[in-house]
Amino acid sequence: MENYCFGVDVGGTTVKCGLFQIDGRLLDKWEVKTNTSDNGSHILPDVAESILAKMEEKSLKKEEIVGIGLGVPGPVDEHGVVPVAVNLHWGRKELKKEFWELTGINTMAGNDANVAALGEMWKGGGEGYDDLIMVTLGTGVGGGIIMKGKIVAGTHGAGGEIGHAPVNPDETESCNCGNVGCLEQVASATGIVRLAKAEMAKCPEEKTKLNPQYLSAKSVFDAYKAGDDMAARIVERFGEFLGTALACFTCVTDPDIIVIGGGVSRAGQPLIDVVKKHYQKHAFQACKDTPIVLAQLGNDAGIYGAARLVLD
Amino acid sequence: MENYCFGVDVGGTTVKCGLFQIDGRLLDKWEVKTNTSDNGSHILPDVAESILAKMEEKSLKKEEIVGIGLGVPGPVDEHGVVPVAVNLHWGRKELKKEFWELTGINTMAGNDANVAALGEMWKGGGEGYDDLIMVTLGTGVGGGIIMKGKIVAGTHGAGGEIGHAPVNPDETESCNCGNVGCLEQVASATGIVRLAKAEMAKCPEEKTKLNPQYLSAKSVFDAYKAGDDMAARIVERFGEFLGTALACFTCVTDPDIIVIGGGVSRAGQPLIDVVKKHYQKHAFQACKDTPIVLAQLGNDAGIYGAARLVLD
């Protein structure tokens, strides 16, 4: 009986692994260090060894495993091939094939942000829905689009790359991607700090709880919750950019729900409220009440989604 | 043998009908007047009568017909139900069921803009691809998203409603939809006239081929092609809005191709070129070379797409 599956979230410093029942119950999770030496050639063998060891520890046979899902930081095509994954020092890699050869177990692979969106659909903020847009507000802005329960990978592996939607025609600095005016430049943790610096430079004499030496997305939201006027203007600006961008995205795919995750989303419901206010102002009539909710799986979204990949 | 199908494009003044071979060859097309009296209750019976008459004329038996596809100006859910279609004076209508009762032939239905996108995928500008974004630049701006060969209808029937993407934060007037700053306000035929009026008001003394009494999208593009400076600035502004919006859309679904149709697109390759220039400036790296092409089916896109609906 195939009752179990593994979800693996390969990151630049650690690989997170989870053993799941096929109903979504997480039975065990652990981490493996990411060894990026020798062009990252040890990563897959290390993970395979760790999974096979876990199977031995739990007395699981191959016949009991539906498969292993891998989420990786890079584009992944429908054949489970990665053209390049900079953070892992990988060039082209046939993930699905290589991992099958290492383990003898069916393997599926997807981009990490897309896989996290699938995880949130399965057991997180989007549970019960099968069409969603997920936005991950971290150091950068990632995203994932799920339609009819499946990841939208896109023709060039760029489905859900909403962090690079052009949203700010007044921007003068370049984004990491090379373009100018991306959502990531105003809605990521670093983007919020940029907005804060700009606002503080505009009103240098204004009394504020914000300390220019210790600016972070968290400190901005903390000051906002404490009623600070300058923080309120910064958060409004962030909310306007993100809410308007979401209104743009929903008139493309018109999803059931929007899920917001990533470190910045720890600011909680006040963040959702300000984004929703601006979203509703700009969204097409039929989509104005599309729910906007917090992600619920935190750093585990990747392992949940990776496991879900093999359950179709 | 099921060798034929019908495609029907129901508009507010006429209903276009087409008889197709299932390989996409258009064998015959004709029109029926749209009778919107009595809450539009004559429309479906009139169309059904016309199709049954055509079958008799061509000596076609029901067994030879795969089905009849209907495109209508309103949202259509997956069960072929329209909640409301203002232009046809319809309230809720069970299209699929009613038309089956009238004809005894399998019927499918979809929103007209989405259906036109499907038509362009099948036998038009997007032939050979199955993931596309279509933009229709007419009196308004319509759109349709096709993924894996299927229409993205969306949770509220608003999939592909890209004419109402918020793109212009400096807008002061309201769009027909009630929002402010929609793509439709700057990229439709009427939107281009608005841009032209604004530009002419800004530089009232400037010599130009544009006649303020006879402004139209066509006159603006004609003057642009003739080297008029003011027309060039208007067309650049249009191209910047539409190109940037398309860059925003492609980082959501990352399609194979973008198809531009509608009356305004008769301006031809110069229109594509200016949109492409701005698109490439703002698109995410992986999507910068996504082709942008002209639609090819003109007013027949609707009947092609409607026919294609029944061929899955």
What's the ipTM? 0.94
- B106 and B145, same domain (yes or no): no
Q: What percent of chain A has pLDDT over 70?
A: 100
Which residue has 């064998």 as its token pair? Answer: B27
The mean pLDDT value for A123-143 works out to 96
Residue A169 identity (one-letter amino acid): P
pLDDT of B38 reads 96
Facing A253 at nearest CB: one of B145, B248, B290: B145
The CA-atom distances, in angstroms, between A206 and each of A196, A223, A230 are 13, 14, 8
- A170 and A274, same domain (yes or no): yes
Give the chain B residue whose CA is nearest to the CA of A154. Answer: B254
Would residue B179 count as lying in a domain?
A: yes
pLDDT tens digits, one per residue of B247-277: 999 999 999 999 999 999 999 999 999 999 9
Q: Would you say residue B286 has pLDDT above 80?
A: yes
- B159 and B279, same domain (yes or no): yes
pLDDT tens digits, one per residue of B38-67: 999 999 999 999 999 999 999 999 999 999
pLDDT of A78 reads 81
pLDDT tens digits, one per residue of A277-286: 999 999 999 9
Would residue B208 count as lying in a domain?
A: yes
Would residue B138 count as lying in a domain?
A: yes
- B51 and B191, same domain (yes or no): no
Alpha helical stretches, state H, chain B: 37-40, 43-57, 95-103, 112-123, 184-187, 189-202, 217-225, 229-253, 269-282, 301-309
- A140 and A17, same domain (yes or no): no
The mean pLDDT value for A235-260 works out to 98
Range of the domain at A186: 128-295
- A287 and A143, same domain (yes or no): yes
Q: Which of the four pLDDT bands, split at 50, 70 and 90, describes residue A100?
A: very high
- A17 and A109, same domain (yes or no): yes
Do B165 and A245 lie within an 8 Å CB cutoff? Answer: no
Q: Bigger pLDDT: A18 or B139?
A: A18
pLDDT of A35 reads 96
- B263 and B305, same domain (yes or no): no
Give the chain A residue whose CA is nearest to the CA of B174. Answer: A282
Instruction: Write down the pTM of the prediction.
Output: 0.95
Alpha helical stretches, state H, A58-111: 95-103
pLDDT of B118 reads 98
CATH number of the domain encompassing residue B287: 3.30.420.40
Nearby residues of A41 by Cβ (< 8 Å), 6 or more positions away = none
Query: Of B75, B60, B46, nearest to B6 (Cα)?
Result: B60
Nearby residues of A211 by Cβ (< 8 Å), 6 or more positions away = A219
pLDDT of A4 reads 98
- B209 and B266, same domain (yes or no): yes
The token pair that represents B263 in the structure block: 């009356």
**Across all residues in chain A, what is the average pLDDT?**
96
pLDDT tens digits, one per residue of A37-87: 999 999 999 999 999 999 999 999 999 999 999 999 988 988 899 988 888
pLDDT of A222 reads 98
Q: Which of the four pLDDT bands, split at 50, 70 and 90, describes residue A312?
A: confident
**Chain A: closest CA distance from residue B207 (Å):** 29
Q: Which of the four pLDDT bands, split at 50, 70 and 90, describes residue A187?
A: very high
Query: Of B39, B161, B16, B210, nearest to A283 (Cα)?
Result: B161
Q: Would you say residue A209 has pLDDT above 90?
A: yes
Q: Which of A132, A150, A253 best probes binding to B when mutated, by most B CB atoms within 10 angstroms?
A: A253
Q: Would you say residue B234 has pLDDT above 90?
A: yes
pLDDT of B312 reads 84
- A147 and A287, same domain (yes or no): yes
pLDDT of B1 reads 73
- A35 and A49, same domain (yes or no): yes
Report the SS3 class of residue B228. coil
Lowest mean pLDDT among A66-80, A295-309, B228-242: A66-80
pLDDT tens digits, one per residue of B172-186: 999 999 999 999 999
How many domains does chain A contain in total? 2
Facing A286 at nearest CB: one of B157, B250, B283: B157
Would residue B124 count as lying in a domain?
A: no
The token pair that represents A119 in the structure block: 């995880």
**Across all residues in chain B, what is the average pLDDT?**
96
Facing B253 at nearest CB: one of A145, A157, A164: A145
- A105 and A162, same domain (yes or no): no
The token pair that represents A145 in the structure block: 């689009």
